[in-house]
Each structure stands twice: as structure tokens, then as C-alpha cells.
């Protein structure tokens, strides 16, 4: 499923709003989550899962082509942990 | 950040009623869950991909008792953040 398919389903199952409006709302939801993560906040969505950021320390890496050592800077990466309900529902269904 | 806070942002920025905003946030997460439950990936461009992956059965060990156990094959959800989201987290850091 892509974002535009998700938008269509939401617009269809929701008589009140147009496809264009559904698109704006879907974009806004994921923008809100991204913004929160960018601020270092954790996003906890009950029944779905939680998004958090993890810090990666700087390290000495190696260019696999030349074998040269390179300094890889530290960074912050997003992380998603599926919630119990999502975990169970995905695993059960065979 | 919680679902209620995301709903509030949708309400404030888009002007849907509070009730509708809450319902749509819930509907969006529900739809993603249902799709993953059916074994299908969800690709949200600009945010990331939720993917269903099959894990093979493997031999494990109960860390408490030291007993050998078999971990059954199972399906898990993984999240791959988009380049855009990764860059957003880096941009706001330091």
C-alpha cells in the first residue's frame, strides 16, 4: 500500500471529506510525527507502536573500495518499535 | 507525543473538528495495521516503509535458565525511515 492508496481508502470510508482533504490530513499526521522526532521527542501510538530516536556514536569506518580509514560522524537515527497489538496481529495471520 | 496530540495538531492546522481529527488519526493507523496484518508492506513516501518480514525458526537460549529452546518462525514488522526523515533528524541535531 502506498500513501496515495491510503489516502483513497480514508477518503472513501469517510464520506465527509474529499480525497484532497484526506491527503492533507495524512501528510499532516506524518509531518507531526517527523517534527516530534526531530525535536528528540518520543511518539507513542497505542495499539500501533512507538517512534523514538537513537544516537549513533562517531566511529572509524573504512572505505570498502580503497580500504582507507574514514571518520564517520555520530548521528541521530529514527527507530520504530511495533506495539503488542500490531506484533500479535501480524504474526497470527497466516 | 500521543495520538491525542497528533489529533490536536490536525484540528489546529486543518480545522477539522476535534472529534473528526481523532477519528481520522485512528483510521489511518488502523488501515496501516490491517494492511500489515495481511502481509502487505506500507510505503509512505517522505516518511518511511513499514515492512512485514518473515523470520526463520532458530535455536535460542532462555537467558534466565540457560535452557535451549526453539524460537518458532514468525512474522515481524520493521520500519525503514526515508532519506528525508533521516536528514530531518540530522538537520536539527547539534
> Given CB atoms, is A89 within the 8 Å cutoff of chain B?
yes
Model pLDDT, residue B94 = 46
**In terms of CA atoms, which chain B residue is nearest residue A36?**
B1
**In terms of CA atoms, which chain A residue is nearest residue B27?**
A10
**In terms of CA atoms, which chain B residue is nearest residue A82?**
B77
Q: What is the ipTM of this complex?
A: 0.87
Residues of B in contact with A80 (CB under 8 A): 48, 50, 78-79
C-alpha cell at A35: 517534527
Looking at A14-83, list the stretches that DSSP marks H as alpha helix, in order from N- to C-terminal side.
19-38
> Given CB atoms, is A88 within the 8 Å cutoff of chain B?
no
Query: Model pTM?
Result: 0.87
Q: Read off the pLDDT of residues B22-50 as tens digits, 9 standing for 90 and up.
A: 999 999 999 999 999 999 999 999 999 99
Residues of A in contact with B43 (CB under 8 A): 1-3
Full pLDDT tens readout for chain A, 94 residues: 999 999 999 999 877 788 999 999 999 999 999 999 999 999 999 999 999 999 999 999 999 999 899 999 999 999 999 999 999 999 985 5
Does residue B75 surpass a pLDDT of 90?
A: yes
Nearest to B53 by CA among B71, B77, B80, B36: B77
Would you call A77 helix, strand, or coil by DSSP? Answer: strand
Please answer yes or no on whether A91 and B76 come within 8 Å at the CB atom: yes
Please compute the mean of the pLDDT values over residues B66-80 and round it to a whole number: 92
Neighbours of B58 (CB within 10 A): 10
Neighbours of B59 (CB within 10 A): 8
Amino acid at each position: 500500500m502506498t500513501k496515495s492508496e491510503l489516502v483513497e481508502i480514508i477518503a472513501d470510508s469517510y464520506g465527509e471529506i474529499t480525497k484532497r482533504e484526506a491527503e492533507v490530513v495524512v501528510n499532516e499526521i506524518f509531518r507531526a510525527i517527523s517534527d516530534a522526532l526531530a525535536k528528540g521527542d518520543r511518539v507513542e501510538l497505542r495499539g500501533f507502536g512507538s517512534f523514538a530516536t537513537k544516537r549513533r556514536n562517531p566511529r572509524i569506518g573504512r572505505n570498502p573500495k580503497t580500504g582507507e580509514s574514514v571518520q564517520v560522524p555520530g548521528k541521530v537515527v529514527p527507530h520504530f518499535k511495533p506495539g503488542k497489538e500490531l506484533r500479535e496481529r501480524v504474526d497470527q495471520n497466516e | 507525543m500521543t495520538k491525542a496530540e497528533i489529533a490536536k495538531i490536525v484540528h489546529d492546522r486543518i480545522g477539522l473538528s476535534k472529534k473528526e481529527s481523532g477519528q481520522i488519526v485512528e483510521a489511518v493507523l488502523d488501515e496501516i495495521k490491517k494492511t500489515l496484518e495481511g502481509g502487505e508492506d506500507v510505503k509512505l513516501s517522505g516518511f518511511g516503509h513499514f515492512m512485514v518480514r518473515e523470520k526463520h525458526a532458530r535455536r535460542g537460549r532462555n537467558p534466565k535458565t540457560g535452557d535451549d529452546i526453539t524460537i518458532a518462525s514468525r512474522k515481524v514488522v520493521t520500519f525503514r525511515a526515508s532519506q528525508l526523515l533521516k536528514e530531518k533528524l540530522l538537520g536539527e541535531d547539534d
